[in-house]
Amino acid sequence: MNDKTFVVLMAEDDEHDIIATKRAWKLGQMANPLHIVNNGEECLDYLERRGVYSDPASSPRPGILLLDINMPRMDGLETLQRIRANEQLRSLPVVMLTTSKAEEDRMRSYALGANAYIVKPIGFDNFAEAIRTINLFWKLVALPGGAHE
């Protein structure tokens, strides 16, 4: 079986969700490295290797992006739109991981090319299980080329 370890990039501004994700990562003993950015602009800087993310060693290409919708500076929907407009990033799997239950956000996410839309479960145990399941699912899926560079 191929090595299915890949970087997971998470764009999230809520400190509690970041802490919960890191805790779930550690408790789940996930082998995939987790990198976190705090808004859409920082996410694009990371993906396009600009500014503080210009060194490929410190900003390896992710195999998947967990993208929150409600973030400052640039929200997740605009970030997703820019990712899908970029030829080099277009095939990056993007999972919207958000508190938004709004039908409009879900429909717009899929229209813009999201691969999945997951509403963050309430409670740490449920959240940790969701993170573990997302990670497991994407380990089983054949990712687009270049995800392991």
Q: Between 3.40.50.2300, 3.20.20.210, 3.90.1300.10, 3.60.21.10, what CATH number should domain 8-64+73-131 receive?
A: 3.40.50.2300
Calpha distance 145→130 (Å, rounded): 26
How far, in Å, CA of 112 to CA of 53, rounded?
A: 25
CB 77 within 8 A of CB 43: no
Q: What are phi and psi of 116, to 5 degrees?
A: -160, 155
What order do you get walking across the sheet with 62-67 strand by strand?
Answer: 34-37, 7-11, 62-67, 94-98, 116-119
pLDDT at 1 over 50: no
pLDDT in tens, 90-100: 999 999 999 99
DSSP code, position 80: H
Q: What predicted TM-score, i.e. pTM, was given to this entire model?
A: 0.89
Instruction: Inform me whether the pLDDT recorded for 25 exceeds 70.
Output: yes
2 vs 105, residue with greater confidence: 105
